[in-house]
Structure 1
Amino acid sequence: MIKGLYEAHLPVSNLKNSIEFYKKLDLEIAYQQENLVFFWIEKGRSWLGLWETDKAKTPYHPSLKHIAFQIDRDNMLSIKEWLEERDIEVSTNFGFPPEKQPLVLPNNPQAHAAVYFKDPDGNSIELIAPLRLDFEEEFNMMTLDEWNKTK
């Protein structure tokens, strides 16, 4: 019955600034009104709503101010350069500084590579790529470079 996630929403304090930021991620505007914009993540399949609100000042928590965009595994190797070209700084996550990312998340029985950054309101944005699915193996979080050397 359920086929995927169609939409997600984030609070923003300045819609104009946020529109410029998300355009740098190559997202296309699907719909816009005074205090709301929807960007296509995958046209016709999923979108992201940004709402201009004073709720953007809500302290960060991943259940409230986080979204993850899936990218191809092959793109993960050059993602930091892609972000740098757009003047977007990778942020420290899970104790891993920007230079140690992408990192590999041990979500046993899955493994994913991920890199993190923040939008203008401090919303956590993650770019994530599956590395393997349904394979039982315990391991500690590590850099993608370390993962590639051991796999």
Structure 2
Amino acid sequence: MMIKGLYEAHLPVSDMQSSIEFYQKLGLELAYESEKVSFVWIEKGKSWLGLWEADQVNIPYHASIRHIAFHVEAEDIIKAKGWLKERGIEVREAFGFSPERQPLVLPNNPQAHACLYFKDPDGNSLEFIAPLRLDHVEEFEMMTLEDWYGRKD
């Protein structure tokens, strides 16, 4: 089976700092922080919660709650595009990367992730995500998985 579990979920929040503090009180570790989006680990290296600061948090279909990512293994993400195609599911453009240029690698310090994006029948954003490594990753620009494996560290 391609899917190993739920990797991430997202919530809209009205105040980023107070939300980070709230989730830290629950024992979750801050993984990444910025002004408008932050992540806290639910299980380090396995699942996290994305917090998205929004002007309104009580709107029915805020973009941040119409996205989920399924955890897949790194060796499976290489085959994922073909696996989806066999099932009649098209990869969609993401971050300026056409479907042909995916999977792509996101520089989510301290962990790089390989990702592939598609939609369900209602247009909800779905993602396959595979952690590549947990050790410190130097700063890099988003790139294709093919470029990631071809680079020299």
TM-score normalised per structure 2:
0.59
Change (3 A) 1:89 1:110: same
Deviation string for 1:62-92 (max 9, x for gaps)?
x110000000110111110000000000000
Deviations 1:1-58 (A, max 9, x none): xxx97x969xxxxxxxxxxxxxxxxxxxxxxxxxxxxxxxxxxxxxxxxxxxxxxxx6
Return closer, same or farther for 1:93/1:60 CA change in 2, 3 Å cut-off.
Answer: farther
Q: Per-residue displacement from partner, 1:91-125 (whole Å, max 9, x unpaired)?
A: 00000000000000000111000000000111000
Residue 129 of structure 1 aligns with which residue?
Answer: 130
Where does residue 64 of structure 1 map in the other structure?
A: 65
- In the alignment, the residues of structure 2 paired with residue 150 and residue 8 of structure 1 have an alpha-carbon distance, to the nearest angstrom, of 30
- CA distance in 2: counterparts of 1:125 and 1:136, whole angstroms: 25
Give 1:129 shift.
0.3
Q: Which runs of 5+ in 1 are unaligned?
A: 10-57
Separation (CA, whole Å) in 1 of partners of 2:137 and 2:78: 24
The count of corresponding residues between Structure 1 and Structure 2 is 98
- Give me the whole-angstrom Cα distance separating, in 2, the residues matched to 1:97 and 1:60: 24
Map 1:103-142 to 2 at 5 A: 103-142=104-143
State yes or no: 1:78 paired with 2:79.
Answer: yes
Give the TM-score, by structure 1 length. Answer: 0.60
Preserved contact between residue 102 and residue 115 of structure 1 (Cα < 8 Å)? yes
For residue 137 of structure 1, report the CA deviation from its aligned partner.
0.7
- Provide the rounded CA distance (Å) in 2 between the counterparts of 1:97 and 1:118: 14
Q: SS where residue 87 of structure 1 aligns?
A: coil
In 2, are the aligned partners of 1:60 and 1:123 still within 8 Å (CA)?
no
Q: Which residue of 2 aligns with 1:148?
A: 149
Q: Distance in 2 between matches of 1:77 and 1:8?
A: 23
Q: Provide the alpha-carbon RMSD of the alignment.
A: 2.3
Deviating 4+ runs (over 2 angstroms): none
